[in-house]
């Protein structure tokens, strides 16, 4: 029997990727996909890559949420601030996976500071589990509510978790992270307009990026984290991908081979983390659910390189990975997405 799935917010890049993955998932039946501005339009007419793959059309979000009691799992791929208005009103038996930032932070003041709006559902937030699959697998299995991590947070946390778990960091950590334009959403904006982005390179949100507090919140749950984090984001002139260079100083000397051994042990049960020689490349992970990690070392200095597809491992793919765990499926189900070369 297939899981009955609802998607709230299917017209953006996150919703499109959820559909691309779920329409091929062997244990899923998508029941409806909301997109108020696109209501009535066939999904294949809006997302041309899905043409001929589904007969579904977009619908407006149902007003009577109690009528959704037969839904097994609802995904929210809505702009920040909207899931907190809808998700708490769903019937208790519906499992929820939110791809926005609404339920990631446990501190309402920190949320308001970084998202520029009040968190109006803090009581509901306490029922959400942070969904970084590789570090929180056991809690996700028994969860009914998942706050899917941000894309920068995913790349950064996967690159730092083994170091924090082994208490190896001695001072501040500097994260130099770069992202493609799809991270800004499907609607055109000055910072994503192609003539502006295609030949440009610039930093944005210095010291204020909304993923910083969730990174630090999760690091404290992984191990000893009392360090200073300097986190800088930059705009890449590409459509997809995140590349993070994580600069660390350790308590003891290390070489790249030893770092690789430590990471391999930490991620021994994590199929979607791949360790590579030297630097990874976002081209190797685009359209896949993999995170590729590489290393450079000199004495006590270690640089961890982390590469993901921001829309898959950084959003929709990780959401489906979490859904699989929540329903007792192999977490790889529906996610054997192979990249392209070139």
Phi then psi dihedrals of residue 285, to 5 deg: -115, -10
Query: Is 283 exposed, middle or buried, given 0-12, 13-18 or 19+ CB atoms closer than 10 A?
Result: middle
Which residue is listed with tokens 């029922």?
127
DSSP 181: G
Choosing from 73, 151, 248, 291, which is the catalytic residue? 151
Residues 6 or more apart from 166 whose CB is under 8 A from it?
Answer: 223, 262, 266
Q: Of 323, 311, 329, whose CA–CA distance to 6 is shortest?
A: 323
Query: Is 187 exposed, middle or buried, given 0-12, 13-18 or 19+ CB atoms closer than 10 A?
Result: exposed
Distance, CA of 263 to chain centre: 20
Residue 151 appears among annotated catalytic residues: yes
Helix axes 151-165, 211-222, angle to 10 degrees: 30
Measure CA of the first residue to CA of the last residue in the chain; give whole Å: 38
Burial 94-118 (b: 16+ CB within 10 A, else e): bbbbbbbbbbbbbeeebbeebbeee
Q: Which helix (H) or strand (E) holds 161?
A: helix 151-165
Q: Are 172 and 147 within 8 A, CB to CB?
A: no
H-assigned helices in 166-228: 194-197, 211-222
DSSP 314: I
Query: Which residue numbers are catalytic?
Result: 151
């Amino acid at each position: 029997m297939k899981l009955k799935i609802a998607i709230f917010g299917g017209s953006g890049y996150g919703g499109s990727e959820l559909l691309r993955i779920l329409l091929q998932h062997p244990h899923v039946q998508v029941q409806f996909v909301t997109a108020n501005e696109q209501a009535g339009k066939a999904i294949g007419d809006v997302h041309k890559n899905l043409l001929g793959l589904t007969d579904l059309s977009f619908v407006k979000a149902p007003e009577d949420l109690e009528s959704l009691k037969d839904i097994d799992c609802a995904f929210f791929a809505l702009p920040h601030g909207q899931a907190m208005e809808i998700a708490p009103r769903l019937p208790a038996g519906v499992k929820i996976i939110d791809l926005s930032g609404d339920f990631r932070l446990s501190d309402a003041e920190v949320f308001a500071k970084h998202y520029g709006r009040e968190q109006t559902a803090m009581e509901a937030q306490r029922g959400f589990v942070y969904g970084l699959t590789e570090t929180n697998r056991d809690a996700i299995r028994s969860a009914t509510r998942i706050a899917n991590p941000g894309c920068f947070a995913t790349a950064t946390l996967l690159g730092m978790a083994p170091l924090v778990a082994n208490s190896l960091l001695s001072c501040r950590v500097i994260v130099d992270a770069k992202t493609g334009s799809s991270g800004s959403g499907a609607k055109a904006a000055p910072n994503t307009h192609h003539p502006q982005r295609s030949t440009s390179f610039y930093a944005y949100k210095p010291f204020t990026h909304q993923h910083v507090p969730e990174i630090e919140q999760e690091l404290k749950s992984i191990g000893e984290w009392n360090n200073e984090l300097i986190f800088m984001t930059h705009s890449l002139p590409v459509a997809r991908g995140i590349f993070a260079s994580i600069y660390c100083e350790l308590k003891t000397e290390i070489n790249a081979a030893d770092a690789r051994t430590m990471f391999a042990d930490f991620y021994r049960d994590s199929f979607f983390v791949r360790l590579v020689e030297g630097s990874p490349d976002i081209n190797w992970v685009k359209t896949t659910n993999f995170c590729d990690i590489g290393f450079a070392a000199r004495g006590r200095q270690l640089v961890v390189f982390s590469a993901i597809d921001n829309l898959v491992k950084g959003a929709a793919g990780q959401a489906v990975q979490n859904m699989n765990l929540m329903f007792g499926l192999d977490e790889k189900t529906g996610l054997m997405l192979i990249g392209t070369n070139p």
